[in-house]
Structure 1
Amino acid sequence: MDRVLIATARRLSGDSLARNSLLIMATTVGNGGLGYLYWMLAARTVPPDQVGPATALISAATAVSMIANLGAGHMFIQRLPGIDTGTWSRVVGAGLFAGSVATAATAALTAVAVPAVSGNFAFLAGAGATAALIATAVAVTLTTLLDNLYVAHRAGHGMLLRNLAVAGGKIVALAGVLAAGFHGTVAVLLSWTLPTLVISLVTIVAALGRLRPGARARLTGLRSELPHLRAALTGHHLINLTQAGPAALLPVLVTARLGADANAHFYLAWMTASMLFMVSPAVASALYAERTNAAQVTVTRAAVVVAAVVGVPAVALLAGGDLVLGLFSTAYATEGGTLLRILVLAALPDAVANLAVAHWRSRGEFRLCRRLNLIRAVTCLVLAWLLLPTHGVTGAGLAWLAGQTAAALLVAAVALRHRPTLREPARTPATREPAGPEAVVGRAPSGWAERDRKAATTRATAKE
């Protein structure tokens, strides 16, 4: 038995995709487990009518961050491998700075505009709520970009340790703020946001030099990075926006249509199911990082990793999801049990779509990525808006399942019609740091075009 474990460990250490996929998923499991404990403690120590506004503000902050982070995270994954230390420092500094500033500005605008449109977001009005939304949104953006920074270097262990520190810090902070006399919504927001901000800042100041010796985030040369940021905005960010948009906006729609109290029931079921939803994006990110580092990795290998990790937890949640939600309270199990089972079923088509996007992105087929993600985003959000008033929070789950299924069917259609698109080996970029931003996003290097031309010629000859 010991020999089997040692042999398995050696194989994992030599397989970068499996190793970093498992580390990214371990980050997800750690975040999910500690996050589950955090919200269970919050649900038992803070009244439900106070937890609702807190979860709604965190959901709004997550949506703001998703909209405003400019796609800098995937720019890190694509540009950082192989570049010199000075350029690395400039790229990282520009991405973190621009993403944070854009997030803060978008959060401030949201705090002013959204309450005027929907009365269910009245809790965002006021200077205190605006400051909380800005701080929470920036915290989400920083942790997202730093995670992508570790993924770019295939350093999943660093990301795991950083996220465990954040998740554990939230639990300690919750106990601390309650002991300090803070209660209700304020206690939840302080304990959720402060550890995320503090550990992100510590990472920037103290940990980047370990990730890349001699490097640090620099704010010099920002002007030279603007073309690359614009290219990331129109390329990677639009893909990310349409891919992550429904997940970030669903809690916001639940609040807008049903109120903050209903969002508390939705959010806890969503958080429980998110341990499954985060697996395929983690493997997809690892797949994309492998290919930007010139590794020949197939989608089939990535799919096997996803299936191996998702299978058992999915069956467990289908069978005992009510018991899991019941740990929060009986009301959460009653309101969210059916929703949780629907969300679990959606994990399969979601994985199909996410792996397809990672594969097409690595081949420079950004238009196909955007179309796929746009279909699932529109399907999910439109159906959620229509179903929530009549089906309650379960309507959000039905809309999510429909959106993911539509995307998976589109992937199947593309695979049947253009089989080489999903079956050809990954393309390897000719250079690590292209001459201009247009070579970074949205256009394949000339070597790829030559390969495509030869492949097309071969297929035409075969048909004749």
Structure 2
Amino acid sequence: MKRLFRFWMPRLKSDLIVNQTLLTNAGFLTVAAAASALMGFLFWVWTARILPPERQGLAAATISVMNLIAFCGEFSLGTLLMGRPDSGRGVYGLITAAILCGVLTSLAVGCIFIGCSSWLSPQLQSMLSSHSLVFLTGVVATAIAITADGAAIGLLASWARMVREIVFSLLRLLLLFLVLSYSLAPQASAIVSVWIAALVASLGCILVYTVYHRELLAWPDFAGLRTYAADIFGHHILNLGALGPSIALPFLVTVVLSPTVNAVFYAAWMLLQAAMLVPAAVGTALFATSSSDPDTAAQRLRFSLGLSAAFGILGGLACYLFLKPILGFFNPRYPEIAGAGLDWLGFSLLPTMIKYHYIAVMRLQRRMTTAALMMFAGALIEVVAVVVGGLSGGLFGLTALWLVAVTLQSLMQLPAIINAAGWNLRFGPPVAQS
């Protein structure tokens, strides 16, 4: 035992020193995501205990589609900034230009979506048409948050995202308390408005900080941003394929099944995202830190894979064992509505963890076209699996086919990750880095 301790301790110490920047920024991102998950859990438990499942599911679906439109309209400008760790004066003009472009493009996509929403479920269509101004405000605010968070991570100042997420999470609960003080059974639109108001206020805090530190203010550098047009397109196609289905899934459940089923699915989906906190944060920080120090990318990748796999396995088992009791804590009706459909949802954590690392590896290797084609094809397969599974087998069929789809994707992506980590396909010792 002592010999093993003496052998592993120097290696562990060396890994911690090399990965200090990765761990620090991943730590900030993990705290941010943990605060969002914990406060979000309280937020949705609170509303689930007061609202009927149909209203709860409609509110969750509206927020889901709001996030999806902002994600599509922001054009992955935050991801571009995330890969630019330069903290020189010139980068601030690029950030300003990216935020302004994200505002305009997300607003345009939001308006187009509302104009073409006749194919949606009647409840969701009514929500969007009668509260279009509030909805568009949420789309634009979400797009600004995505871009600003990406810029903070790229500057290795992930603490800024952590602060914004904590403010956003706390304000959601405070505003919900105020709303429930006047109405014990608010409409779904009130829940969506609370969410958007808290988001706008959290962005206001970041704006105040930026104005106070005037060196962060810069005239927008649109000419500089245009030079990255190819990278922006590559990042966006890759993001659409990689993250689009997971953002759209609660919305698809509402359209394919019903708002009532989505209330249960959204609660389980939120728990699953909480279980992905550490793998997602480490994978995001891996891209940002390895962009600034490519020589240690393979070592960082091996460290990140081990850490993420451990959390993925533990999180999957926890979701399988405790999902039903937790759903019952949300609302006594939820386990009955869920049936056996969501029992295996947690086992998507490992395939999703592989996807996060595949994206980081392909971006670092500037192979975004190859990655985008694979991820986009995978996204189409996921959407088809959700629709076919939901229509033919309800919630159980939807979950099962989606899990098969993401698992097949991860098996296709694994060889590229193994190669980038310096392992051979027989899982031998790491290859020495030149």
| Correspondent of 2:107 among 96, 104, 108 | 104
CA–CA distance in structure 2, aligned partners of residues 95 and 237 of structure 1: 14
* Residue segments in structure 1 that go unaligned for 5+ positions in a row: 425-454, 459-464
SS in 1 for 2:251: helix
Match of 2:422 in 1: 423
Deviation at 1:353, TM superposition (A): 1.9
In 2 relative to 1, CA 176–293 (structure 1 residues): closer, same or farther, beyond 3 Å? Answer: same
Match of 2:264 in 1: 265
**In angstroms, what is the RMSD of aligned CA positions?**
2.8
In 2 relative to 1, CA 421–220 (structure 1 residues): closer, same or farther, beyond 3 Å? Answer: closer
Match of 2:195 in 1: 192
Moved over 4 A (4+): 10-14, 207-210, 419-422
Deviation at 1:394, TM superposition (A): 2.9
| 1:56-455 equivalent positions in 2, closer than 5 A | 56-79=61-84, 81-85=85-89, 87-116=90-119, 118-119=121-122, 121-126=124-129, 128-181=130-183, 183-207=186-210, 214-216=215-217, 218-228=218-228, 230-295=229-294, 296-298=296-298, 299-336=301-338, 338-414=340-416, 420-423=419-422
CA–CA distance in structure 2, aligned partners of residues 244 and 273 of structure 1: 14
1:27·1:160 contact (CA, 8 Å) conserved in 2? yes
1:72·1:232 contact (CA, 8 Å) conserved in 2? no
The residue type equivalent to 1:96 in the other structure is: I
The residue type equivalent to 1:215 in the other structure is: L
- What is the count of residue pairs matched by the alignment? 410
CA–CA distance in structure 1, aligned partners of residues 211 and 319 of structure 2: 38
2:242·2:355 contact (CA, 8 Å) conserved in 1? no
CA–CA distance in structure 2, aligned partners of residues 45 and 12 of structure 1: 49
CA–CA distance in structure 2, aligned partners of residues 189 and 420 of structure 1: 45
CA–CA distance in structure 2, aligned partners of residues 221 and 236 of structure 1: 20
SS in 1 for 2:86: coil
In 2 relative to 1, CA 420–270 (structure 1 residues): closer, same or farther, beyond 3 Å? Answer: closer
In 2 relative to 1, CA 53–132 (structure 1 residues): closer, same or farther, beyond 3 Å? Answer: farther
Q: Which of 167-176 and 248-257 deviates more?
A: 248-257
TM-score norm. by structure 1 comes to 0.81
CA–CA distance in structure 2, aligned partners of residues 208 and 130 of structure 1: 31
TM-score norm. by structure 2 comes to 0.86
* Residue segments in structure 2 that go unaligned for 5+ positions in a row: 1-8, 424-432
| 1:43-58 equivalent positions in 2, closer than 5 A | 43-58=48-63
Deviation at 1:34, TM superposition (A): 0.8
Any idea what the Cα deviations from partners look like across 1:142-196, whole Å, max 9, x if unmatched? 2222221221122233322221111111000101122245822132112111011
1:154·1:289 contact (CA, 8 Å) conserved in 2? yes
CA–CA distance in structure 1, aligned partners of residues 77 and 416 of structure 2: 28
CA–CA distance in structure 2, aligned partners of residues 43 and 215 of structure 1: 41
Quote the sequence identity (%): 20
